[in-house]
Amino acid sequence: MSVNSFGRLLRLTTWGESHGPAIGAVVDGCPPGLALSAADIQPFLDARRPGADPLASPRKEPDRVRILSGVFEGRTTGTPISLMIDNVDARPADYPADAPPRAGHADAAYDVKYGVRDPRGGGRASARETAARVAAGAIARLVIPGVTIAARVIEIGGESDEARWTAMIEAAREAGESLGGVIEGVATGVPAGWGAPIYAKLDAELAAALMSINAVKGVEIGAGFAAARAKGSDNADPAMTGGVTGGIATGDPIVVRAAFKPPSSVPALGVTGRHDPCVVVRAVPIVEAMLALVLADHRLLHRAQCG
Amino acid sequence: MSVNSFGRLLRLTTWGESHGPAIGAVVDGCPPGLALSAADIQPFLDARRPGADPLASPRKEPDRVRILSGVFEGRTTGTPISLMIDNVDARPADYPADAPPRAGHADAAYDVKYGVRDPRGGGRASARETAARVAAGAIARLVIPGVTIAARVIEIGGESDEARWTAMIEAAREAGESLGGVIEGVATGVPAGWGAPIYAKLDAELAAALMSINAVKGVEIGAGFAAARAKGSDNADPAMTGGVTGGIATGDPIVVRAAFKPPSSVPALGVTGRHDPCVVVRAVPIVEAMLALVLADHRLLHRAQCG
Amino acid sequence: MSVNSFGRLLRLTTWGESHGPAIGAVVDGCPPGLALSAADIQPFLDARRPGADPLASPRKEPDRVRILSGVFEGRTTGTPISLMIDNVDARPADYPADAPPRAGHADAAYDVKYGVRDPRGGGRASARETAARVAAGAIARLVIPGVTIAARVIEIGGESDEARWTAMIEAAREAGESLGGVIEGVATGVPAGWGAPIYAKLDAELAAALMSINAVKGVEIGAGFAAARAKGSDNADPAMTGGVTGGIATGDPIVVRAAFKPPSSVPALGVTGRHDPCVVVRAVPIVEAMLALVLADHRLLHRAQCG
Amino acid sequence: MSVNSFGRLLRLTTWGESHGPAIGAVVDGCPPGLALSAADIQPFLDARRPGADPLASPRKEPDRVRILSGVFEGRTTGTPISLMIDNVDARPADYPADAPPRAGHADAAYDVKYGVRDPRGGGRASARETAARVAAGAIARLVIPGVTIAARVIEIGGESDEARWTAMIEAAREAGESLGGVIEGVATGVPAGWGAPIYAKLDAELAAALMSINAVKGVEIGAGFAAARAKGSDNADPAMTGGVTGGIATGDPIVVRAAFKPPSSVPALGVTGRHDPCVVVRAVPIVEAMLALVLADHRLLHRAQCG
């Protein structure tokens, strides 16, 4: 029920605001005996860091993860794994408490829902929460050995030619603008039979997982919206289904895509503060993390019912 | 946790196979005191019937819903509402127990997952399960007075000109083919503040709800995939977000779209039995039902936390 | 979240009022491939019947269970199992809609909570709901082969000498009174390791399961309240823990007890209608069903996390 | 589903081992706008401290709680509240990794379940986890203004005369023994109507909450086991039901009791390390916390369905 939790059996709960003392995650339900240390998690966080992308926001937090529980002598114990990342670069003074909601942000939505809001850098609505997802996703990968998850940007600003992206992003920055894009994630090695029918369909849960990422406005599996223009006989091509039929994995690669809108914190809309002209590249590890979390959860769910 | 349940506080559980004695739904958590009788539900089921669409499958089940519990003297009592629809047109003999899995269907996926399967007309994987959703959706609408939900087909076979659809579908039928399409759903009157952040985002749950419908391969909110080609300054247009920011309703109309692939049970793929060349029209009440279920659940969730 | 559901992975949802057309249960998450027919369930319902106990209430419903889904050719398919029992002996006319709440019943509580109530024979609050539990419990037993569950009355009206119970009950009936008692349930063959720590402790969930039975006012595991009077060194006796330590099964027999208060529908309190002077005997299969449901759920939960 | 989480709408997740760097809790679903600071929590932790009881274990951790998220300028924001307590007195060296399981402890149960275990001071199974409950319970109290929760020891070692307890405990310490006891908790001011029927009965959830506390072996509501010896006409006394009928609060004080077995870490059983001859006194704030958590959750659940 918790709105800050994700998953049934491998269950992630995240907490923390952008400019509070720290953010964190609790991963419950992890099988015992898995080799795990902070070194298994850190590379994924490093890939997500703004600093990893020379064109992105100048925030330079190191995002150093600590494991506070659930691991003993390098092995998971089956108890909750608490992960914490200090907000060492928090600059609350940059964000006065009486700052008005920023256009296109969730600020106003939080105001009307809760009547109160941590205004510092987006607070809980900040993309910073996704660091906790990425950390948890690294654990989820350990739960699904044999499954390979890889995501990549396939389109920025409507352009699929990778060679043009750097110039486009630089132009957007200079224009006080920003760009969106599309990420494709592929999971190979998922055994046929994982997944579930009806409301826990593997594709339905992947859709929720991706749509829960800030800025995502569309989600596809397999042929996606192109399927709406296909003919019935095109179903003979496994690419149509994207590796899932009836909510259950077929054993083929699972292929999903997520469409990211451009950030709304742009000078063109009068927004001051940090300006990321394109966040799509940084979202790649987040997409991978969400895929890993869904698949790990379904591995456990399948094992529970079907042995 | 139940894979055949949907929702947190207004919670739907469905059961039944296509050619068993009946299908049904249990709706738990409904507020007490709402006026409810079968007559409030039946029109939505009638709209979903194959018979309602002269071009669709000839199955003629009347889909007569009965309310078995949870209502006393025309009012909901707050206890579980059990709905049942007899499968009066079930023809199990049409589907021998040793029938091979049909191409493009979930048959093979169920076989590999469960090792056993009710093969009659798709069994649990049949679109017949959606009648239970539609019935439950009618109850969900009662939980959200003031909210108007309307869906419509906006594209069939890649064509958005409605005048051409009949001829296209007829041509597909004659060719032993089938067509997909796109449905757009709009919810107006949703109060700003409904929804939730992070993993229970309103748009994430709408995405799961729509992707859980058989044949849906893509889901969008607001600008959807077009948002990936927009500029940051386009965020000034509320159509970009589709009525949800940060997972929370803004008070603007909520606009979602779902892409349906064409049915795979087509003569062109050697499949015998009932042949629906286009199921998109029949899916309109299902899309509406899923919207209503998500919104009703979030109304209760919002009231729980924020009063 | 559903208040009418029980269990995580083997999940029971019940519905129905005492004098509506039927009551029922949906069991989701059952492993596929188990041999199951109505004949596996019926004996447990028969044991619970009032008619099975010559001293009990004269209601004579046959409680004939039907399986409406989830089973194909005598095997579970992994999809929801819908069970239905018609209320053939329903006599709504016995219970006028304007009947005042009965002393000691849940009637008044329902009134104040929901503002509306099905007054016929206790409606949803009737012990009739437990027939659905008993039916589901029969399925749960199939999920835990190797585990033997047996409950028995160990005390009626404070008297543990079984030979005196018949006379005591008869005397209570004549006096317009009623008696309570204690049931002990024992599960043997539960593998060490089932269960879970902290909030899903096996004993905590057994306690909830038993306390959720109408009229239960106390629950014990192992030494129970006597443990509060024991010395630390008494922990060397495995009977102290009752087969569970830290929420996890030890492999020893699991021993629980539930205390039932006497029914409040007694002529001595001016209540008319059916009068059961002692319901404890009929509650034995309910206690067994709840034990089976908890253990089956924990078997699946353990398998999910620990393989 | 998470076994380390508690509650539906006000949802607590705890983490941490006795001798890891810290323990903590995440409280999700808290209504926004409540005044909250660490000073609201600290007194309850102080009451639970060993140091607060001169006869108890010499562990002297200050249990200083920090709020890491979910509060802005002294008000809850509706986002997850992360609480952390450093284990400043952790002495892992006292507990060698190859220490054998201690008699009567959960050590062996964890070993067989998970195949791996943090052996230091009971690890996750340590009563230290209850500090996180107590901290969360302080927040739960804020959610139920108007409700007063008070627990007290009513029996130690079978003796209800408070004046004799100190001498008894001292004698037990000298004998290398330990004593159990009974705690009674009373909640007054709970509005009639809170609670829920069937499986979410208020008394069933209180029973699970109390039985989930380490060492609890029995739970009662109202007359408890004495009810099994009462007559039907005794139901006219509201003390019989303990403030709950049909799972729903009546508006009368809610009265529950929990029986604690004596600690098994006693020299008499050859266990070395810290020796608490009686932990019942320290458990009082834990009982109160669990009551507050259940009631706060049910307040939100009631508001969700019934407004």
Convert the pLDDT of each residue in B110-135 to its tens digit: 999 999 878 777 889 888 999 999 99
CA distance linking residue A143 with residue A127, whole number of Å: 25
Question: Sorting pLDDT into bands at 50, 70 and 90, what band is D144?
Answer: very high
In angstroms, what separates the C-alpha of B233 from chain C's closest C-alpha?
A: 42
Residue in chain A lying closest to D22 (CA)? A68
Question: Sorting pLDDT into bands at 50, 70 and 90, what band is D29?
Answer: very high
pLDDT value at residue B270: 80
Q: Is D69 on the interface with B (CB under 8 A)?
A: no
pLDDT value at residue A50: 65
Q: Which residues of C touch A78 (CB under 8 A)?
A: 305-306
pLDDT value at residue C118: 81
Q: Angle, to 10 degrees, between the axis of helix D202-211 and the axis of helix C202-211? A: 160
pLDDT digits (tens, 9 = 90+) for B156-204: 999 999 999 999 999 999 999 999 999 999 999 999 999 999 999 999 9
CA distance linking residue D124 with residue D87, whole number of Å: 13
D114/A32 CB distance under 8 A: yes
In angstroms, what separates the C-alpha of D204 from chain B's closest C-alpha?
A: 18
Over residues A91-115, mean pLDDT? 76
pLDDT value at residue A96: 65
Percent of chain A with pLDDT over 70: 91
What CATH number is attached to the domain comprising D300?
3.60.150.10
Q: Is C29 on the interface with A (CB under 8 A)?
A: yes
B150-179 residues touching A, CB cutoff 8 A: 155, 157-158, 172, 177-179
Q: Is C301 on the interface with D (CB under 8 A)?
A: yes
Q: Which residues of A touch D106 (CB under 8 A)?
A: none
Between B267-271, B282-286, C174-178, the lowest mean confidence (pLDDT) is in B267-271
pLDDT digits (tens, 9 = 90+) for A51-69: 665 555 555 657 999 999 9
Percent of chain C with pLDDT over 70: 91
- Which has the higher per-residue pLDDT, A273 or D81? D81
pLDDT value at residue D4: 97
Q: Are D79 and B200 in contact (CB under 8 A)?
A: no
Question: Sorting pLDDT into bands at 50, 70 and 90, what band is C116?
Answer: confident
* Cβ-nearest to C2 among B28, B114, B117: B28
**B27 — phi, psi (to 5°)?**
-110, 115
Q: Is C86 on the interface with B (CB under 8 A)?
A: no
CA distances from D2 to A10, A139, C192, D5, D214 (A): 8, 16, 21, 5, 18
pLDDT digits (tens, 9 = 90+) for C278-298: 989 999 999 999 999 999 999
pLDDT value at residue C139: 98
Question: Sorting pLDDT into bands at 50, 70 and 90, what band is B238?
Answer: confident
User: Subunits that touch chain B (at least 3 Cβ pairs < 8 angstroms)?
Assistant: A, C, D
Percent of chain B with pLDDT over 70: 91
User: Subunits that touch chain C (at least 3 Cβ pairs < 8 angstroms)?
Assistant: A, B, D
Question: Sorting pLDDT into bands at 50, 70 and 90, what band is A89?
Answer: confident
pLDDT higher than 90, residue A216: yes
Q: Which domain holds residue A75?
A: 5-306
Q: Which residues of D touch A12 (CB under 8 A)?
A: none
pLDDT higher than 60, residue A247: yes
Question: Sorting pLDDT into bands at 50, 70 and 90, what band is C171?
Answer: very high
pLDDT digits (tens, 9 = 90+) for B23-63: 999 999 999 999 999 999 999 999 887 666 555 555 565 79
Over residues D12-38, mean pLDDT? 97
pLDDT value at residue C282: 94
pLDDT value at residue B60: 61
Over residues D98-109, mean pLDDT? 75
The residue type of B293 is L
Mean pLDDT, all residues of chain C: 92
Q: In the sheet that B5-6 helps form, which strands lie side by side, from edge to edge?
A: B5-6, B11-16, B22-28, B81-86, B65-67
Task: Give the number of domains in chain A.
Answer: 1
Gyration radius from chain B CA atoms: 20
Helix (H, G, I), strand (E, B) or coil at D126: coil
CA distance linking residue B220 with residue A250, whole number of Å: 25
pLDDT higher than 80, residue A206: yes
Interface confidence (ipTM) of the complex: 0.95
Q: Are A127 and A55 in contact (CB under 8 A)?
A: no
Residue in chain C lying closest to A11 (CA)? C305
Percent of chain A with pLDDT over 90: 77
pLDDT value at residue D88: 86
CA distance linking residue D59 with residue D131, whole number of Å: 14
User: Closest Cα partner for D94 from D116, D46, D126?
Assistant: D126
pLDDT value at residue B95: 65
Mean pLDDT, all residues of chain A: 92
pLDDT value at residue B41: 98
Q: Is B140 on the interface with D (CB under 8 A)?
A: no
A198/B208 CB distance under 8 A: no
Dihedral sign from CA coordinates of D95, D99, D105, D107: positive
The tokens 């979202």 sit on which residue?
Answer: A283
B183, B189, B191, B195: CA torsion to nearest 10: -10
pTM: 0.96
Q: Is D8 on the interface with C (CB under 8 A)?
A: yes
Q: Is D1 on the interface with A (CB under 8 A)?
A: yes
Q: Which residues of D touch A69 (CB under 8 A)?
A: 15-17, 20, 22-23, 124
DSSP A120: G
Between A197-206, C86-95, C125-134, the lowest mean confidence (pLDDT) is in C86-95
Over residues D208-236, mean pLDDT? 96
pLDDT higher than 90, residue C187: yes
